[in-house]
Amino acid sequence: MPTATALGAPNTLRLAKRFFWKECRRLSVLAAGVSVLAMGLMLLVWWFTPRSVDPADPLSVIAVGAGMMLAVAAAATLFSVEKEEGTAELLERLPRNVLAMTIGKIGSASVIIPLCTLALLLLAFVIGGDIADSQQIPVNMAPRVSLFLLEAFVWSLVASLACPNPLVAAVLGIALGSVSLQLGIFATIPSVRGFTPAGLDAAAPARLALAGVGMLVAGWLVSGWPAPLRRRRAVVAADVEGPSRRRHWLPSLGWGLFGRYFWQTLRQSWATGVVAMLLGLFLTFISVLIPEGLLEANRTWRFFSGVGLLFAPALLGAVVFRADQRRDAYRFLAEHAGRPRMLWLARNLVGLAILGLFTALLVAVFLGVWLFMVGVPGRIDFVYQYSTTAGVDFLRVVQGLIDGKQLAIVAATAVLTAYAYGQFFSLALRSDVIAAMLALVASIVVLGWSSVVLAWELPPLAFLLPLAIGALLAAWLRVSDWMFDRRGWWRWAAPVAALLAPAACLLPIVPAERLAQVNRPTPLIATSGLVLMHPEVRVESVPPQVGSWHVRSGVRFDELVSQTQEEMRKGKEVADAYARLEAEEVAFDEVEDEGDEEPAFDFGLRTVIRPAHGRLDGDALDAFLRLSRVRCRLMSGHGGDLQKIALMDSTDAEEPIDLDGRLERLLACRRVSIQGGENLGLLHEGSFSVYLADEFVDWANEEGQTPERIGKAIRGLREAEAMSVGPIGHLMNDRYQAQAIINGEASPQFLQGTDPRPRVDQWLAYLANESLDFERERALQALDLLAAYDAAYLGEGMRALTSNKPALNWLQRYSIDDAQLVGVLAPDVPQHGAYYFGDLTTIASARTSRLVSQVFNNQHVLSDALRRWMAGVAWRRAERVRLALIAYHLEHDEYPESLEPLVGSYLGREEIRDPYTGEPFGWKPDGFDLPLAEEYRGEIVKQIAPIGIPALWCGGGALAAPVKRQARVGKPGAGGVSDDNRPTATVMSLQPVEEIYFWPTGAFWMPAPK
C-alpha cells in the first residue's frame, strides 16, 4: 500500500502562499466583523462621552482592544479549526511541510491583525477629533500596541495548538496572556497597584521575554502538528436513530423521538455546557480584574468593571447547537426526517437546566458569603444606628425586601435573555468562535438595558422578558430553514422580526411608564414654625389616603412653590433697584497697600469704597430703608456695598450720633443681610444671626440711650427674624437651583470649573436629561416630590423641636434614609402600613431620575439643617435677651438676678427660654471667677470674655453646662514652642463634647456689657 509521502512535497513557497490566501480569506471575514462591532462601540462611546473629556483616549482603547480580540480569535482558530472541522485528518495524509503551513498561517495573521488595528486607531482619532495628532500612532503608540498584539497572538496560538476546541482555545489564550502580562509587571515592579501606563512601559522587557517563551512553546508544538489523531466516532445525529443498549428504557417511558433527542443532548453537551459556564465565569472575573487594575490610571474604568456579568449564560447559549454545527451534522438530521423544533426544544431544555443549576449554586455561594459578612460584628453601617421607632425599622425591612425582589427578578430575567441571544447566534452561525463573540457583545447590551431597567425601576417582566422570548422565538422560527439548509434572505425575515419586535414595542412605552411613576400627590407640610414665618400661607386639611403622608393638615407644596417664585420675582426687582442705587451712591478708590515688614515687597493696590456724595442720606437713604423692608430673596446678592456706606455714615459723622437714625440703619442692614442670605441652601443658617451683633451692643451702650429705644430695637430684630424663611425656605432655594439645572439654565457642579471631570454615571444622567424630553419632564416632577417630602420632614422636625418638651433626638441623626423620611413619627406603621408603603415607593421612584438625585440630594443635610436652624433660633433669642438686659440695666442701674423680670416689659415668655430645654437661658449677672472660652480637645479655640463679665449662655443640643477645663494656650508650634511645652490655663467652657465641630450642638457664650 503506497504511503502518503510517495506523492512528493510541493514547493514550500507555493504551498505557503496557498495557506496564506486561504487564511486571509477566513480572517478577513473575522476582521470585518470585529471592525463593525468596534466602530459601533466607538460611535456609542463618542456619543456618551462628556464633551469636556477628550474622547480619543477611550476610543483608542476600544481600537486596541478590538485588535487584541481579533488577535485572540485569529490565533485560536489557526490550528484548532483544522481539528474542529476535520481537515486535520486530511492534512495527516498529505506530505508534511510544517514550515510552509506555519509561514502561510502566521503570515496571514501578521498582515490582517496589524492592518485592522491600525485602521481602527486612525478611525478613533478621526472620530475623537484628534486627526491632527495622528502622527502619535506610529511614534508613541506603535511599540505599546505591538506588544499587546504580540502577547495576545502568541499565547492564543499556544492554546490553539494545545486545544482542539476553538472556543476553549480562545478563552485559554486570554487567560495565558493575562497571566503573562501580570507576571511581567509584578516581576518588574513588585509593589505596583494597578496597570498604569508607566508600569506597562517599564515591564515591556519582561513582557517581551515572556512572549518569546510563548513563541518557543508554540514552535515546539507546531513542529509536531498535525499529530496523529485518535479516531473518534463522528458526532452526528445518527446516534438518535441507531440502537443503543443504554437507551432501551426511553421509549417505554413514552418519550419517543423527543426523549432520544433529549438524552443525546444531555450525553453530548453537558460537559460542553459546564465548560462554557466555567469559561464565562473566568471571563467575568477578567472583566472585573482588568478595569479594577486600571483604576490607578483612570477612575472612569471602575464604571466598566461589571461589563462581563452575563458572559457565562451568553457562552452557554452560544454552544447549544455546537454539536449540530460541527461538520454539518445537522444535515444528517434533515436526511433522516428529523424534527427541527423538537430538536430545538431538547437542546434548550438541557441548556436551561445547566443554567439553572449553575445559577442556583452561585446564588447559594453569594448568600452564604453575604450572611457571613453581615454576621461579623461591626459590619453594619453606622448610618442607621439612630433608629427612632419600630415603624421605621419595619419600613426599612420592607424597603429591603422590595429592592431585593426587584434585583432578583431583573438578574434572573437578564440571565435568561443573555442565554436566549447566545442560543440564537449558536443556531445562526457555523463558527462557534464568532457565535461566542456576538453572544458576548449581546450580553453586554443586555446588561446595559438591564441596568437601565433596574435604575429606572421598570417592571422587568414587561421590559426584559419579551427580549428573551423574542430571541427564543427567533431561533424557533429559524431552526427549520437551518436544518433543511434553505437559503435566501427572505427566510431571515421572520427571525429578525422576532428579534427586533420586542425592542420596537417596548421603547415607545418607556416614557409613559416613567412619567406614571411620579404622577403622585405631594405630601402636606406641617405648619409648626412655618405659619409664624409665613402668616399668609393657607392651611388645608385632607382625609387620610393610602399612599399619603400621615400629616392630616398642613400647607400644600404648590403654595410654597408659588410663594418662592413670588419672593424671587420681588428679589429680582429689589436687586435691580439696589444695583441702580449702588451705581449712584457708591464710589471706589484705589489706595496703596502698606508693607512695613518688607519694603522691597510690592503689596500693590487695594480697593476701598466710600459714599459718592459724602454720606448716604436723604432720598437715597429712604430708598435703601424702603427696599430693605421688602420680603424677597436676593438671588444675585446685591446690597452689600450699600450696607457698608450706610454704617459708615452712621459712625463717621462728626456731629452727635443720631441714635434713632443709627438704629434704622442697623436694622436695615440686618434685613438686607437676611434678604441676601435667602439665596443659600440647607447648610446655611443665617450668618445674619451674628451679623452686626457687636454693633447693636455698642449702640445700646451709647450715651443718651433709653430703654424705650432699645425696646424698639428688640421689636425691629423680631420683625427682621420674621423675614427669614428658615430651613424650608433654604430647601426651596435648593429646589430652584436644581430646577434651573434640569431646565438647562445652569450647569451642575460636576460640569463647572476650567477642567471638569464628571464621572461616567454623572455624565450619563446629564445626557439623558438633555437628550430625552420625557426624562426632563419626569425629572421636574420627581424634583417636586423629593422637595415636598424633604419639606414635610423639616416641618415635622420643626414641630417636634418647638414643642414644650423639644425632641432633641431630631438633632442626633446623621444621614436620613427613605424609611426615616416616611415613618419617623409613625409608630403604628406595622398596623397601618398601607398608608406609608405608597410613600416609600414614591420616593424610591423619584430618586431614579438620576440627575435629580445628584443635584438635589439632601439626605445627609436634613438633620444638619435642623441643627443649624435650632442654633440660629437660640442665638437670635439670646441676642434679644441681651438687649433687654441692657435696657433693664439702664432703667434699674443693675442687672436682674434672673430673666423673669424681662417678661412683659421687653420680651415675651417664650423669648427668654432656651429652645433646647424649654427653660430660661443660663444667666449669671456677676460673671464667673474664670475667663470664658471655647475649648475643644484641650485647646482654647476662642477667648470669649475675661473674669467677672456678666454672661448669658445656651447649652445647645448637648445640654452643656459651664464647667472648669484645663486647656492649652496658643497655636501649636507658635514661637518655636513645642505642643507639649505650651502653657495651660483654667477656663469656663461650654463645649466638653468632642464631636461639636463635626455636628454643631448650638452651645454658645453671650457676654453682656459690664
Residue 563's nearest CA partner among 528, 537, 526 is: 537
Give pLDDT, residue 327: 64
The answer to which of 233-237, 436-440, 591-595, 775-779 has the lowest mean pLDDT is 233-237
The answer to which of 99-103, 235-239, 676-680 has the lowest mean pLDDT is 235-239
The answer to which of 166-175, 300-309, 667-676 has the lowest mean pLDDT is 300-309
Give pLDDT, residue 470: 93
Give pLDDT, residue 962: 87
The answer to which of 59-68, 92-101, 513-522, 558-567 has the lowest mean pLDDT is 92-101
If residue 988 lies in a helix (H) or strand (E), which one and from where to where?
strand 984-989
- CA of 74: how far to CAs of 41, 169, 216, 399, in Å? 21, 11, 19, 50
Q: Which residue has the higher pLDDT, 301 or 729?
A: 729
pTM of the model: 0.77
Amino acid identity of residue 193, one-letter, is R
Please say if the pLDDT value at position 134 is more than 80. Answer: no
- Long-range contacts (CB closer than 8 Å, 24 or more residues apart) made by 384-389: 384/817, 386/809, 386/812, 386/813, 386/814, 388/809, 388/813, 388/820, 388/824, 388/825, 389/823, 389/824, 389/825, 389/826, 389/827, 389/829
The answer to which of 174-178, 794-798, 826-830, 836-840 has the lowest mean pLDDT is 826-830
How sure is the predictor about 680, in pLDDT bands with cuts at 50, 70 and 90?
A: low
Which residues make Cβ contacts (< 8 Å) with residue 825, sequence separation at least 6? Answer: 388, 389, 550, 796, 800
Q: What is the secondary structure of 585-612 as a DSSP string?
A: HEEEEEEEPP-SS-TTS---EEEEEEET
- Long-range contacts (CB closer than 8 Å, 24 or more residues apart) made by 685-688: 685/727, 685/865, 685/868, 685/869, 685/871, 685/872, 686/724, 686/872, 688/724
The answer to which of 154-163, 389-398, 781-790 has the lowest mean pLDDT is 389-398
CB 575 within 8 A of CB 679: no
The answer to which of 164-173, 538-547, 625-634, 732-741 has the lowest mean pLDDT is 538-547
- CA of 4: how far to CAs of 91, 96, 322, in Å? 10, 9, 32
Query: How many other CB atoms are found less than 10 A from the CB of residue 234?
Result: 11
Mean pLDDT of 423-439: 84
Burial of 286 (0-12, 13-18, 19+ CB in 10 A): middle
First to last CA, the chain: 128
Q: Which residue has the higher pLDDT, 330 or 126?
A: 126
Mean pLDDT of 461-483: 91
Helices 166-188, 432-455: axis angle to 10 degrees equals 70
Give pLDDT, residue 191: 64
Residue 609's nearest CA partner among 580, 579, 648 is: 648
Please say if the pLDDT value at position 777 is more than 90. Answer: yes
Question: pLDDT digits over 240-283, tens only?
Answer: 444 344 444 444 334 567 777 777 777 777 777 777 887 777 77
Phi first, then psi, for residue 518 (nearest 5°) are -110, 10
Mean pLDDT of the chain: 76
Give the side-chain half-sphere CA count within 13 A for 540.
12
Which residues make Cβ contacts (< 8 Å) with residue 710, sequence separation at least 6? Answer: 700, 883, 884, 886, 887, 890, 906
Please say if the pLDDT value at position 377 is more than 50. Answer: no
Give pLDDT, residue 760: 75
How sure is the predictor about 505, in pLDDT bands with cuts at 50, 70 and 90?
A: very high
Count Cβ neighbours within 10 Å for each residue of 372-382 and write b for 16 or more, e otherwise: eeeeeeeeeee
Amino acid identity of residue 667, one-letter, is L
Percentage of residues in the chain having pLDDT higher than 90: 12
Q: Which residue has the higher pLDDT, 590 or 945?
A: 945
Please say if the pLDDT value at position 35 is more than 60. Answer: yes
Decide: helix, strand or coil at residue 930.
coil
Burial of 609 (0-12, 13-18, 19+ CB in 10 A): middle
Mean pLDDT of 827-854: 74
Please say if the pLDDT value at position 542 is more than 70. Answer: no
How sure is the predictor about 51, in pLDDT bands with cuts at 50, 70 and 90?
A: low
The answer to which of 84-98, 111-125, 832-846 has the lowest mean pLDDT is 84-98
Domain ranges of the chain: 9-227, 257-375+401-517
Give pLDDT, residue 974: 47
The answer to which of 290-299, 409-418, 427-436, 846-855 has the lowest mean pLDDT is 290-299
Helices 862-892, 773-801: axis angle to 10 degrees equals 40
Indicate the pairing of strand 939-945 with strand 932-936: antiparallel
Amino acid identity of residue 625, one-letter, is L
Give pLDDT, residue 513: 92
Radius of gyration (C-alpha) of the chain in whole angstroms: 39
How sure is the predictor about 598, in pLDDT bands with cuts at 50, 70 and 90?
A: very low
Mean pLDDT of 800-824: 76
Please say if the pLDDT value at position 231 is more than 50. Answer: no
Q: What is the secondary structure of 261-328 as a DSSP string?
A: HHHHHHHHHHHHHHHHHHHHHHHHHHHHHHHHHGGGT-GGGGGGTTTTTTHHHHHHHHTTTHHHHGGG
Please say if the pLDDT value at position 296 is more than 50. Answer: no
d(CA 146, CA 141): 8
Give pLDDT, residue 278: 78
Please say if the pLDDT value at position 541 is more than 50. Answer: no
Burial of 401 (0-12, 13-18, 19+ CB in 10 A): exposed
List strands edge to edge, sheet with 1004-1007: 922-924, 951-954, 1004-1007
Mean pLDDT of 846-851: 89
Phi first, then psi, for residue 947 (nearest 5°) are -70, 140
**Joined grid coordinates for residue 669:** 442692614
d(CA 340, CA 555): 68
Q: What is the DSSP letter of 141?
A: I
Which residues make Cβ contacts (< 8 Å) with residue 1001, sequence separation at least 6? Answer: 811, 867, 871, 956, 957, 958, 960, 991, 993
Alpha carbon 784 to chain centroid, angstroms: 21
Residue 334's nearest CA partner among 238, 408, 265, 414 is: 238
Give pLDDT, residue 354: 87
Query: How many other CB atoms are found less than 10 A from the CB of residue 57?
Result: 14
How sure is the predictor about 782, in pLDDT bands with cuts at 50, 70 and 90?
A: very high
Please say if the pLDDT value at position 784 is more than 80. Answer: yes
Amino acid identity of residue 160, one-letter, is S
Please say if the pLDDT value at position 867 is more than 70. Answer: yes
**Top-ranked range on mean pLDDT: pick from 85-94, 508-517, 528-537:** 508-517
Give pLDDT, residue 556: 82
Q: Which residue has the higher pLDDT, 460 or 227?
A: 460
How sure is the predictor about 223, in pLDDT bands with cuts at 50, 70 and 90?
A: confident
Please say if the pLDDT value at position 288 is more than 80. Answer: no
Please say if the pLDDT value at position 379 is more than 80. Answer: no
Which residues make Cβ contacts (< 8 Å) with residue 693, sequence separation at least 6? Answer: 879
Mean pLDDT of 70-94: 67
Give pLDDT, residue 794: 87
CB 840 within 8 A of CB 821: no
Helices (H), 376-509: 390-428, 432-455, 460-463, 465-483, 493-506
CB 736 within 8 A of CB 28: no
Give pLDDT, residue 390: 61
The answer to which of 34-43, 236-245, 304-313 has the lowest mean pLDDT is 236-245
Question: pLDDT digits over 875-912, tens only?
Answer: 889 999 999 999 999 999 999 999 999 998 888 888 89
Give pLDDT, residue 420: 94
Q: Which residue has the higher pLDDT, 612 or 163?
A: 163
Indicate the pairing of strand 984-989 with strand 939-945: unpaired
